[in-house]
Structure 1
Amino acid sequence: MNPVRIPWPRVRKIAVWTVAVLLVLVLVLAVAAVWAVRRSFPQHDGTLRLSGLSAPVTVHRDDHGIPQVYAKSADDLFRAQGYLHAQDRFWEMDFRRHVTAGRLAELFGSSQVETDIYLRTMGWRRVAEQEWRILAPDTKRHLQAYADGVNAWLADHDGGRASLEYTVLGLQNPDYTVETWSPVDSLAWLKAMAWDLRGNMETEIARAALLAAGLTRQQVEELYPAYPYDRNTPIVTGGGIVAGAFDQQAGPATPPNPAAGGGTGGGTAAGGVDVTGPGGDATTARTLTAMADGLSRLPIMLGNGGQGIGSNSWVVGGGLTATGKPILANDPHLSPTMPGIWYQMGLHCECGFHAAGFTFSGVPGVVIGHNARIAWGFTNLDPDVTDLYLERVDGDRVQVDGEWRPLQTRAETIKVAGGRDVSITVRASGHGPLLSDASAALRDIGVAPPVDPAGSPAPVAAAPQPSPGRPATGGDQRDGYAVALSWTALRPGRTADALFALNTATNWTEFRAAAALFEVPAQNIVYADVDGNIGYQSPGRIPVRGKGDGRWMAPGWDSAYDWKGFIPFAELPSVLNPTDGYLVTANQAVVGPTYQRFLTSDWSYGYRSQRIRDLIGSARDAGKITVEDLRRMQFDNRNGFAPTLVPAVVAALGTGDPSDLSRVAATELWKDWDFQQPAEGAAGSTEGRGSAAAAYYNATWRHLLAETFDELPEDNRPDGGDRWYEVVRGLLAQPESPWWDRRDTPQVERRDDILRSAAGEAATELRRDQGDRPADWQWGRMHTLTVRNQTFGTSGIGPVEWLFNADPVGVSGGDAIVNATGWDAADGYEVDAVPSMRMIVDLADLDESRWIQLTGNSGHAFHPNYDDQLELWRTGRTLPMRWDRTTVEAEAARTLILQP
């Protein structure tokens, strides 16, 4: 049988048509993809109608999409702000409100039910609803106007027209519909902010878990050393409480609280649940581990609660500046997200409201920035505002001082996309919600309680295990014992009032009145005004405890451990016009150890703050300080512990093989190293040598921690932050300390053995990953930042992650460095905390102020302003923070008129 032959011209014609069809198909798909991506891009110029306005609103945007808004009235101003936030960031806003309400399963299905149970149990949304009822009338009006603006935008946008994320979500959850925005949605976001900046809860859990896991009290104290007041200066260098108010010139009027100085190490609170007692240790260790695991599942909105989350802020008085007026700098350190947490904006109206700075999408007003008279910045105080209580429960009753009292209960229904509703019962004691009801592990704590009915440690035969097949629904609790969370943010407050009062304050007195309303999260606030004043105020709701200091789980059945109130605002530390002429806050100790009130036992150890103080001193000695000086300070990359560790490693290597790569690398790279940590640099240049030295140093540091502290439980391995600087500093003076001995070898290691071994492992790692020449190693090849979308950026689906995430980039800096690009030594070198923005305000000429944020103002993937600030941020550059309307109009790239 002869095969059929097709003439060659016909084959060629078929091939041409096939290629043409394929090209058309590719073109159609490309056009469809571009359309799907761009259909949600908002209109930034021309004219749009915004219902409810009383007069037109003008919006000038610069090349980076940063809007300056000009309105006739406050109602129009905040209505326009809501509209603009929704234009650029509505998916982010919608996701956040589902988090704060415990409604993630409505978006993403059954995988989020356990997280929703935790969130419903804590009840952030319920507290926000209570706050709405106590806010000032003007605040309510601003919040409502903002919500009306958001809803005006929603009226014309849904699904993929609102954001590309909704198109992707539709593939999994096609039935999802967007709800209208309410003022309570904005208030609930402030609860998420407070949660992520809540202070030292994880540290309390970790410290107790270490004791419970078998470490001695002395060992735990060595892992939580005292704050080094002799080396690192507190924010407030003197003062005390006199006649019910803080006096910056006074000493203590009463005997000081011995725990007030922070960093006081291990040990149990007097009368607390003793986790080191017979039998109670193993149970409590499991209890605390289960608690930490549950909390880690909650979405990270601002930060991961770890050592990298903090901030820098400082203010220099006019006596030290070139202009004769103050300069204020701020850079909060938070988890990197795409889009960045901040939205830059200027708000102006003929009503007298004028402010510019960094806003939260979903919340009206300016959070950090300046108005025409004052500037302000925040850092985290890291206060102890959370306590865990072990409660004795019987059904829906809880024991207090020998009496049984009713628990508060409420029913909740969790709607699940693509699944059945889940019903739960939330219980709460007088201390707070029973978090143990939200955890499959903690729910069975009654099987083996950490204490017996008399309150003494109880023998434990076996670990409590979740009942087989029991769903994590929060509706099936085991009687006997439960764990309650007491947290200041679970009580309604007036932080929203504080934000608007801060935006309109004109002097120190009005600023402090606004700060007095700022209840959660407790923060450090720096201040400067156009009259030349600088100041600091510590606001926040910080508990006054009866027995105990909050570091350990307390017996809830004994009311002596209850909170007795809160530190009065007048007693919290504050300073106006210090004699030094400047103030620095970088999460270090707020005040000296003689302060009479207890704030926390867990400060940051002051490496960043002391470096900033040193830089200010050097700039002062060189002449008058400028905005450019502060910009360079914000991007300072000096490692504050390297001058201590490097000589010790070099000395240990001096007794080894001179041809060993580790000794060669140390000799080549660390000689004359200035301890700066740039990401990259040309071979042979100062930056290139510094980057190579930093790469080798940080690899050595990581291996040193892993080898020295190999006996710690996996969940408590060193993260490498400044607490570990202090731990290792102490151990370097103890060459025979048992900490140096590795548990996986038969011989007994000493200090120099570990230092040599760590340097050797580091050299091997870098040779494998970056080649044989130490001079070619670069810190930025290891220390990379991948800014990921908060929802789909870790989906595990490559094309989806490509749509929303930024490409990895090498970054300078590191842990406990002014340019605080944090990383976890237990996991690798990847960046997990960053300066989320940088701001410098010049009170002599507000138009000369500077700002930058991590990504860009737009939340729309592929939009020109989605990540257009990332490279500027990475390299330490900033943008003009314009204020004068003439300058704003001259530099406007697009102008949008919102018409009634």
Structure 2
Amino acid sequence: MLTIFRWLLRLTIALILLLLLGAVLTWYFSIRSLPDYDATYRMDGLSAPVEIVRSTENVPHIFGQSDKDMFFALGVAHAQDRLFQMTLLRRAAQGRLSEIQGPGAFASDDLARRLGLYRNARASLDVQDDDTRAALDAYAAGVNQWIAEVNENALGRGAPEFFLFPHQISYWQPTDSLAILKLIAASATNAVADEVLRARLSLVSPQYGPDLLDAAATSSEKPVYASLFPGARFATPAKTSPSSNGTVLSTFLKPGQGLGANGFAASPERTAAGGALLANDIITPLTAPSLFYLARLQLSSGGVIGATIPGIPAVLSGRNPHLAWGIAPTPVDDADIAIEEIQPGNPDRYRGRNGWTDFATQNEVIRILDGQPQAIILRETENGPVIPGLDPGLRDVTPMGHVPVLRWTGLSADDSTMSALIGLMRAPDTDSARNALRDVVAPAISVSLADSDGIRQIQAGRIPRRAANHPTAGRMPAPGWLEAANWQPPGDTDGDLIDKTGGILIATEEQQPDSLRQGRLTRLIQDREVHSRDSFIATQLDIISPAARALLPLVGANLWFNGDPAAPGTIERQRQDALSLLAEWDGSMSEHLPEPLIYAAWMKRLQDRLIRDDLGPIADDIRSLHPSFIDAVFRNRNGAARWCDIVQSAPQEDCTTIARQALDLAILDLSEDFGPQVTSWRWGDLHQAVHTHPGLGSLAGLGWIVNLTQSISGGDFTMAQSGLLGGQKHPYGARTGAGFRGVYDLADPDSSVFITSTGQSGHPLSRHYDDLAGLWRRGEYIGMSLDPDLARAAALGITELRPRDD
């Protein structure tokens, strides 16, 4: 027995030693990939020495003698800090994530191949101007020189994540940058999702279903979707899943998901310091690291500083010595679904506008980690590529014997958007910026501009032109064979919205002219005669919910005062306490208050009770609040109060009854999680921002290391926007937010400020992985100066790049 005990003890000690050795080796190889910011590197491709001065927050300030060397050094800086993120973005655009992530990424790869993101990017390389081609070449050379440095000096494969994904890192190509821009363009629009949902609602409830999205429209503006395909049969509408199309994935840029932004500006006569002001925040999925990377380049045209995206050699939002700019997706419908009929008995042909026509086909193979390669056939019609996986609801709205096809402005082989973005960086004034922006194709963007002469807003990008007799006006899928459903020849937008609102310009991604967030922004800006940098910051960080202010007086109109106080501990008393809090609430979605939590839970339950009996399982797919619908119901606009009656019950319910029942259900839900004391509840207990690591965040045991979780204020409709009702499991979690915020003050340009949601480094062991996250949560910023002396004064390191033969 003693011998067995001794051997067990020895084995235990040996196992502990092996685990310790493994931990030490893992730590050693991981920290090998932390870049040395005080090193000197000799590299091919440089014409002269370059310095990368890292500020206290690890923002690289790049100084050299030529623009080519500037873009080369930006490639080095991006690769030093974000090589794994760049690699995932590139693989997502190429449709090659399955090679490192396995079968779970297959659907995403399939979609990327069918959209032709990389093919169109490769074709678009030839239409870039000479300066952009040179910038793309130099940037790729810089990335590749860092990859070579990693390989030659065993620098931990460049990022610790690569030890878990042991494929060789391919060298960077100029096309890769264009492909990532295509991926962002595809992710910027949610036009298809809206079309598909509208059609699903029409199929389930032809007369009233579309009210959910178009509550203010008349019945004549809501075509019955099934009537577009007489005699066709549809599959039974079913509940979809967020992961049913396989795109809940590593990069968190999903085609069709929609991105957001706010941009606003004040002309010099509306500012306290006499110089134009401009603010911009870009709303994206929250990841660790952030999608954005702050950088400054000293170009021949002057210094430029702002937000870049690793993989793209352009400042998307920022300033140079004379001009500041911010971007927002233009609220236009830039994509349509065309439904093509397959020829009976011949699946290789479809019904074109001139008769039965052969699909254009192409065979490709998707390689899968730990799985068999999968061959796919890409099919395309005269209207675009066949894309059954673009939206999980497409199955419901595609008649049997038909296939869905995508029309999208980004399906272009002559996309010169990169040239426009790089030209914008060099623009000395708004006129030059306007000329540069003529090259934007996709995504369509509203660009707010400010210079010494004032402010300007340019709408840039290709906008579809639809015929007056289009069967759905682009609001639902339409038969692809109808000439009326075809797009007219595209026209470039060249819309100047110059100072149309008394020295103020405003841009958001919202499409409705009466949208709540845009209305809130307009009031905040117009209510002050004179603005300052601090007032613009306060506007960006505003957490008042216009939706709460609009809905609560309507929904609770007959509930606020209802008899004597109920007995403590009863649901009636909880309801009274909740209503008492809400009656005095100003709509502030503060993480420290109970009112936002009560309001959000109430509206979630209320909307569900209004729509579930009519829409059935589709109700589970309505993951966002639709205030205009609830407003129309409680105002009985166009008879919308009919939604308050539960059709499947014998009594006829009114809206007051439904509102009370929904509040009681919400209180029961919250009581189960937080106890019966209403005043002790806090919004931040459920409203938490989860910055998820691309690739590792969902892996057991690693997620808690690489993901960042913070309770935050705000909501869907606040200026400080954070996504809400995102799913059934975590309906109040913030999955989107301002990945970048910037405020530019041209009266004192070096007092301009910016922030990203995490940190500059993508290395989980770096102190710059999350050092900006706390500032971002608290609504703080860091400086945006082009003064080289300031950058050097607080530098945490200076990296020298020298020509190899120097």
Go from structure 1 to structure 2 and tell me whether the alpha carbon gap of 1:336 and 1:305 turns closer, same or farther (over 3 Å shift).
Answer: farther
Pairwise CA distance, 1:354 = 2.3
The equivalent residue for 1:560 is 484
Residue 702 (structure 1) aligned to one of 599, 604, 607:
604
- Other structure's SS at 2:356 match: strand
**Pair 1:618-2:527 in alignment:** yes
Go from structure 1 to structure 2 and tell me whether the alpha carbon gap of 1:754 and 1:346 turns closer, same or farther (over 3 Å shift).
Answer: same
Distance 1:306 1:265 in 2: 28
1:544-582 per-residue CA deviation (whole Å, 9 max, x = no partner) reads 123412222222223332212113434xx3222335111
Go from structure 1 to structure 2 and tell me whether the alpha carbon gap of 1:123 and 1:276 turns closer, same or farther (over 3 Å shift).
Answer: closer
Residue 206 (structure 2) aligned to one of 190, 206, 216:
216
**Pair 1:195-2:144 in alignment:** no
- Other structure's SS at 2:121 match: helix
The equivalent residue for 2:234 is 282
Query: What RMSD over aligned residues (CA atoms) do the two structures have, in Å?
Result: 3.2
Task: Please show how residues 2-81 of structure 1 align to structure 2 within 5 Å.
Answer: 27-81=20-74
1:76-124 per-residue CA deviation (whole Å, 9 max, x = no partner) reads 1111111110111111111111111111221123333333222212111
One-letter identity of the residue aligned with 1:693: E
Go from structure 1 to structure 2 and tell me whether the alpha carbon gap of 1:405 and 1:20 turns closer, same or farther (over 3 Å shift).
Answer: closer
The equivalent residue for 1:550 is 474
1:771-797 per-residue CA deviation (whole Å, 9 max, x = no partner) reads 3332221100011111111222123x2
Residue 768 (structure 1) aligned to one of 672, 676, 679:
672
User: Is 2:409–2:463's contact at 8 Å kept on the other side of the alignment?
Assistant: yes
**Pair 1:167-2:163 in alignment:** yes
Task: Please show how residues 125-204 of structure 1 align to structure 2 within 5 Å.
Answer: 125-157=118-150, 160-170=156-166, 176-204=167-195
- Other structure's SS at 2:742 match: strand
**Pair 1:658-2:565 in alignment:** yes
Residue 264 (structure 2) aligned to one of 311, 314, 325:
314
Pairwise CA distance, 1:297 = 5.7
User: Is 2:410–2:442's contact at 8 Å kept on the other side of the alignment?
Assistant: yes
Distance 2:313 2:762 in 1: 17
One-letter identity of the residue aligned with 2:133: K
Pairwise CA distance, 1:816 = 1.0
One-letter identity of the residue aligned with 1:675: G
User: Is 1:706–1:826's contact at 8 Å kept on the other side of the alignment?
Assistant: no
Pairwise CA distance, 1:290 = 11
**Pair 1:677-2:670 in alignment:** no
Go from structure 1 to structure 2 and tell me whether the alpha carbon gap of 1:604 and 1:206 turns closer, same or farther (over 3 Å shift).
Answer: farther
1:603-637 per-residue CA deviation (whole Å, 9 max, x = no partner) reads 375212221222223333xxx42111111111111
One-letter identity of the residue aligned with 1:224: D
The equivalent residue for 1:328 is 278
The equivalent residue for 1:818 is 719
Distance 1:694 1:395 in 2: 53
Pairwise CA distance, 1:867 = 1.1
Residue 643 (structure 2) aligned to one of 728, 735, 739:
739
Distance 1:33 1:196 in 2: 36
Go from structure 1 to structure 2 and tell me whether the alpha carbon gap of 1:99 and 1:265 turns closer, same or farther (over 3 Å shift).
Answer: farther
**Pair 1:539-2:460 in alignment:** yes
User: Is 2:107–2:247's contact at 8 Å kept on the other side of the alignment?
Assistant: no
The equivalent residue for 1:338 is 288
**Pair 1:633-2:539 in alignment:** yes
User: Is 2:240–2:392's contact at 8 Å kept on the other side of the alignment?
Assistant: no
One-letter identity of the residue aligned with 1:196: S
Distance 2:187 2:491 in 1: 22
Go from structure 1 to structure 2 and tell me whether the alpha carbon gap of 1:41 and 1:753 turns closer, same or farther (over 3 Å shift).
Answer: same
Query: TM-score if structure 1 supplies the norm length?
Result: 0.81
Distance 1:487 1:71 in 2: 40
- Other structure's SS at 2:669 match: helix
Distance 2:183 2:489 in 1: 23
Q: Which runs of 4+ in 1 moved over 6 A?
A: 3-6, 17-23, 263-266, 288-292, 437-443
Distance 1:823 1:631 in 2: 23
Stretches of structure 1 that go unaligned for 5 or more consecutive residues are: 171-175, 227-262, 451-463, 465-479, 590-602, 681-690
> Comparing 20-29 with 409-418, which one deviates more in the overlay?
20-29
Distance 1:291 1:761 in 2: 25
One-letter identity of the residue aligned with 2:385: P
One-letter identity of the residue aligned with 1:738: R
Pairwise CA distance, 1:197 = 0.8
Task: Please show how residues 429-448 of structure 1 align to structure 2 within 5 Å.
Answer: 429-436=381-388
Go from structure 1 to structure 2 and tell me whether the alpha carbon gap of 1:292 and 1:392 turns closer, same or farther (over 3 Å shift).
Answer: farther
User: Is 2:340–2:481's contact at 8 Å kept on the other side of the alignment?
Assistant: yes
Pairwise CA distance, 1:854 = 0.7
Task: Please show how residues 741-760 of structure 1 align to structure 2 within 5 Å.
Answer: 741-742=645-646, 745-760=649-664
Pairwise CA distance, 1:279 = 5.3
User: Is 1:199–1:382's contact at 8 Å kept on the other side of the alignment?
Assistant: no
Pairwise CA distance, 1:846 = 1.5
The equivalent residue for 1:363 is 312
Pairwise CA distance, 1:495 = 0.3
1:386-414 per-residue CA deviation (whole Å, 9 max, x = no partner) reads 12222234444333334333332222122
Go from structure 1 to structure 2 and tell me whether the alpha carbon gap of 1:103 and 1:165 turns closer, same or farther (over 3 Å shift).
Answer: same
Task: Please show how residues 560-599 of structure 1 align to structure 2 within 5 Å.
Answer: 560-570=484-494, 573-589=495-511
Distance 1:5 1:512 in 2: 85
Pairwise CA distance, 1:731 = 1.2
- Other structure's SS at 2:406 match: strand
User: Is 1:303–1:335's contact at 8 Å kept on the other side of the alignment?
Assistant: no
Pairwise CA distance, 1:360 = 0.8
- Other structure's SS at 1:823 match: coil
Query: TM-score if structure 2 supplies the norm length?
Result: 0.90
The equivalent residue for 1:252 is none
**Pair 1:401-2:401 in alignment:** no
User: Is 1:199–1:383's contact at 8 Å kept on the other side of the alignment?
Assistant: no
Pairwise CA distance, 1:292 = 11
Pairwise CA distance, 1:718 = 7.3
Distance 1:441 1:348 in 2: 48
Residue 510 (structure 1) aligned to one of 417, 421, 432:
432
1:427-471 per-residue CA deviation (whole Å, 9 max, x = no partner) reads 21111112249999989x9xx983xxxxxxxxxxxxx6xxxxxxx
User: Is 1:426–1:437's contact at 8 Å kept on the other side of the alignment?
Assistant: no
User: Is 2:240–2:393's contact at 8 Å kept on the other side of the alignment?
Assistant: no
User: Is 1:534–1:577's contact at 8 Å kept on the other side of the alignment?
Assistant: yes
- Other structure's SS at 2:184 match: helix
User: Is 1:527–1:536's contact at 8 Å kept on the other side of the alignment?
Assistant: yes
Go from structure 1 to structure 2 and tell me whether the alpha carbon gap of 1:223 and 1:778 turns closer, same or farther (over 3 Å shift).
Answer: same
The equivalent residue for 1:225 is 215
- Other structure's SS at 1:677 match: coil
Distance 1:846 1:718 in 2: 46
Go from structure 1 to structure 2 and tell me whether the alpha carbon gap of 1:102 and 1:524 turns closer, same or farther (over 3 Å shift).
Answer: same
One-letter identity of the residue aligned with 2:308: T
Go from structure 1 to structure 2 and tell me whether the alpha carbon gap of 1:483 and 1:115 turns closer, same or farther (over 3 Å shift).
Answer: same
User: Is 2:276–2:450's contact at 8 Å kept on the other side of the alignment?
Assistant: yes
Pairwise CA distance, 1:31 = 2.5
User: Is 1:88–1:860's contact at 8 Å kept on the other side of the alignment?
Assistant: yes
Distance 1:26 1:299 in 2: 29
User: Is 1:435–1:484's contact at 8 Å kept on the other side of the alignment?
Assistant: yes
- Other structure's SS at 2:598 match: helix
Go from structure 1 to structure 2 and tell me whether the alpha carbon gap of 1:92 and 1:266 turns closer, same or farther (over 3 Å shift).
Answer: farther
Go from structure 1 to structure 2 and tell me whether the alpha carbon gap of 1:305 and 1:815 turns closer, same or farther (over 3 Å shift).
Answer: farther
User: Aligned pairs, how many?
Assistant: 781
The equivalent residue for 1:599 is none
Go from structure 1 to structure 2 and tell me whether the alpha carbon gap of 1:340 and 1:732 turns closer, same or farther (over 3 Å shift).
Answer: same
User: Is 1:37–1:861's contact at 8 Å kept on the other side of the alignment?
Assistant: no
Distance 1:766 1:281 in 2: 43
Go from structure 1 to structure 2 and tell me whether the alpha carbon gap of 1:306 and 1:217 turns closer, same or farther (over 3 Å shift).
Answer: farther
Distance 1:70 1:4 in 2: 71
- Other structure's SS at 1:365 match: strand
- Other structure's SS at 2:559 match: helix
